[in-house]
Structure formats: C-alpha cells, structure tokens
Structure 1
Amino acid sequence: MKQNKKRIGEILVELQILSVKTVERVLVRSLKSKKKLGTVLEAMELITPDELAEALAMQFELKTVKDLSRFQIPAPVLALVTAVTAMQHLILPLKVENGRLALAIADPTDTRILENLSANTGLKISQYMASRPDITAAITKNYFASNQVSNGKRTLLVVEDDKLIQEKLEKVLTSKGYQVLIASDGMEAFKLLITQKPHVVLTDKEMPKLNGYGLLAAMRNVPEMNKIPVILITGRMTDAEESGAFEKGFFDYILKPVTDNGLLTRVKRAMHYYENNN
C-alpha cells in the first residue's frame, strides 16, 4: 500500500458523492465526537454503507465484496474466528486457500485484530472490503442461522445471566404491555438484536462470553443499532464508573436490587427516546 493515502473525504468528493463544504462541516462534528469521518457520515445518512465501503476500498487499495449472505461459509473456516470476535470487529472469514485466509472487513484501520488472527491461525490475511450491514447480515446467517424479523411491538431485550432477575424483570415489564426477549449473555443478545430488532436493551454489567460493556461496543459497530438505548444493570456504581458508563454510551443505569418503579421509569424514558429518534 502507498504510504500517503488520500483522505476519505477527498475520495468521496472525487466520486462526486459529497461536496467539499459538506465534508468540511461533518469533519468538525467528527473531531468533536472523536469518531471517524466515515462513521459519522454513514450515521447521518449522507452516504450509504456501500459508498463508504467503496471509498475505503479505494483508500486502502482493497478489493470489495458484496452480498456476503449468498455465501455458505464452511464450518472449519468459521471456526477460525469466534462469533464474539466477528461481532466486535465486524469481520467474516470467507475461505482458506494456499495458506491465506480471505477475510471480509468493515474497518481496514483495525490492524491489531488482523495481526492477532494471523498469529493465531498461522495464515496470511487477504482483506476484502465490505459494508457493515452486509457483514452483519452474513454473521447472522452463518453464525446464528436466523432470518431477521420485526413484529412492530414495543420490544425490550433483557440480558441477564441470573434466572431470578430474568423472571422478575420479565414479569414487571410484560405486565405493562411490553414484549420481552431474554438473553443469558452478550453473544446471545447480539443474535436477538439482529434478528428481533428490540427497541430498548437492559443489560447486566457482568456476564459470561460478552459482558455489558462488550455488548454495547459491538452494538456501536453497527450503525443501525446506534440509536437503540442501552440501560446498564449493576450492583454498584461509583461516581467515576457512572461517568465512564455515560461516556461509553449507556443511556441510563439501574442499581440492584431493581425496584419496579425505577425499572419502569427508566424503560419508559428510553422507549420515548427510541420512538423520537428512529
């Protein structure tokens, strides 16, 4: 690759997708939010996921791959990347050939995962640029074997590994007319997020496989999930932890033991936020 790559904004202007003025204005917002320009542009729907993937492919001199869900990835190839890693980094192994792993990626700047994957598998990595929604759909199909559905009901996803707390939250929430989905860990929750499209998420802080913070990070990798409010459930919260949770992007938090009034008040506010921002 060339050392002096064109900036993503320049490429989008050259492709006549955006004007110079638009790029300059969004760049200011990007710097303030400390998010990548492409991520902000996509979230604002100023560019499509495919347009971003095309621009990144040009910037990093990569080939693109589309419609990943048409591929049925062999189980031995899928086993090279865990479902959690695939979700967190939005990568998908495609095939192994001549000592190389063909890997679909959404973020070519995430080089550490590529280095780790190469070291762990003993394979060289061939990168192929793909859009975030395309990779997300393919992860769902290949790792979770499920189709996306949406029934239009006010739906909450409760992510909690304690059965007693699961049952209590479900009972209180269903009594108020909410549809409640239950997941025992972050990985199971991510599957439900993709396939069932809940409106609000309540997640425990500590869980096996993928904890509450890991789940939130995985969600923020998917633009379609950026506006889903996530409420953290925790046994304790210091001032520093509270500040850190909000900085990470949690909508609110609930302390254990969870009270009915505290739960319903926060869920109502989160649902109101979702309905007014989606």
Structure 2
Amino acid sequence: MNMGNAADIQRRFSPGDVLLELRRLSPKLATMSSNERAIFICAQFGASPFNVKEVEVPEEVLRMVSLQVCRGIRCLPISFKDGRLTLCVADPTNQTISMVGSKLEIMIASQDDIMAAIDRLYGLME
C-alpha cells in the first residue's frame, strides 16, 4: 500500500524517529523481529508492508539514489514515474528521507529486507 508522499507523512505525524516513539509506546517493540516491527509500524500508519525481497528495480532508478545514501538512511528506490520517486523505507517519519527528493511516494518494509535488497540490487550494478 502506498503511504503517500514524504511531506504529507511528516505533516501528519510528529517529526522524529518513529521507531523511538513506538518503543516509548510499546515496550515489546524492542524485542520484535525486523518483520514484526514493519507490520507494527504499518498498522500505526494504516498501511501494508511492501515486499522488497524479490523486487526488480531498473538500473536507471537505482542510479537516482546512491548506494551510500540508501545504506545511510535505509531506503531503496523502487520506481520513478511522472516525476515522482517511489522509495521503500523502514521508518516513514525519518526526516533525512527528504534529502532524496521532494516528490516521493513512500512504501514501508522491514529494515532487514531493505538492507538485503540494497545489497542484492546495487551489487548487480558493480
């Protein structure tokens, strides 16, 4: 499910790291797996987790966001259409997401799955 653009998310939810806020709200979150956290976060935002495990991303889309940025903010570019980049993230309120661009569509996946997809997809470009 599409979360909407990054600016909308940041307007709807208080700034800051959603994982820290959710840890405050739910002591069990710290003991959850990466996948369980993704499901929990999606439930907070009324979204469904995006499956990045087998996604294929065109090389021209991957080149829009450097490997260093993807690893640093734990995001994965998925597609680019009509001037809008679809970005998969584990934390949709992370304010550093906006450094990628202003016209973003946000998807949510587990951090572990995103990092594995980054390694897989960017590794194919080398």
For the aligned pair, the TM-score class normalised by the smaller chain equals 0.7 to 0.9
**Is the CA contact 1:90–1:135 (under 8 Å) kept in the aligned structure 2?**
yes
Residues 96 and 102, structure 1, Cα contact 8 Å, conserved in 2: yes
Name the CA distance, whole Å, in 2 between partners of 1:81 and 1:11.
33
Superposition deviation, residue 64 in structure 1: 1.8
Q: Partners of 2:63 and 2:22 in 1: how far apart?
A: 33
Aligned counterpart for 1:131 among listed residues 103, 110, 117? 110
20, 40, 63: which is aligned to 1:55? Answer: 40
What amino acid sits opposite 1:81 in the alignment? Answer: V
Q: What 5-or-longer segments of structure 1 have no aligned partner? A: 13-22, 27-37, 146-278
Partners of 2:86 and 2:104 within 8 A in 1: yes
1:117 aligns with 2:100: yes
Corresponding residue for residue 64 of structure 1: 49
The equivalent position to 1:74 in structure 2, one of 55, 58, 67, is 58
- State the aligned residue count: 110
Once the two structures are TM-superposed, the CA of residue 8 in structure 1 deviates from its matched residue by 2.5
1:175-190 → structure 2 map (5 Å cutoff): none
User: Which residue of 86, 91, 94 corresponds with 2:78?
Assistant: 94
Report the Cα offset of residue 59 of structure 1: 2.3
**Amino-acid identity (%):** 25
Aligned-pair CA distance for 1:97? 1.7
CA-CA distance at 1:93 after TM superposition: 0.3
Three-state SS of the structure 1 residue aligned to 2:77 is strand
Residues 11 and 59, structure 1, Cα contact 8 Å, conserved in 2: no
Mapping of residues 204-243 of structure 1, within 5 Å = none
* Larger relative contact order (CA 8 Å, sep ≥ 6): 2
Root-mean-square deviation (CA, aligned residues, Å) is 2.7
Structure 2 unaligned regions, length at least 5? 1-8
Taking the aligned partners of 2:57 and 2:100, their CA distance within structure 1 comes to 17
Describe the SS at the equivalent of 1:70. coil
TM-score, reference length from structure 2:
0.72
Give 2:3's aligned residue.
none
Deviation of 1:84 after TM superposition, in Å, equals 0.7
DSSP 3-state at the match of 1:73: coil
Whole-angstrom distance in 2 between the partners of 1:128 and 1:59: 14
- Aligned equivalents of 1:142 and 1:95: distance in 2? 13
Shift of residue 85, structure 1, vs aligned partner: 0.7
* Secondary structure of the structure 2 residue equivalent to 1:114: helix
CA contact 1:69–1:141 (8 Å) conserved in 2: no
Per the alignment, in what secondary structure is the counterpart of residue 79 of structure 2?
strand
Runs of 4+ aligned residues of structure 1 deviating over 3 Å after TM superposition are 1-5, 9-12, 60-63
- Counterpart in the other structure of 1:164: none
Deviations 1:17-67 (A, max 9, x none): xxxxxx2xx7xxxxxxxxxxx4xx1xxxx212111011112223444202x
TM-aligned CA deviation for residue 98 of structure 1: 2.3
Distance 1:58 1:72, change over 3 A: same
Letter in 2 for 1:60: F
Q: CA offset at residue 109 of structure 1? A: 2.8
The AA in structure 1 aligned to 2:91 is D
Alpha-carbon deviation of 1:87? Answer: 0.9
Larger Rg: 1
Quote the residue 1:140 is aligned against.
119
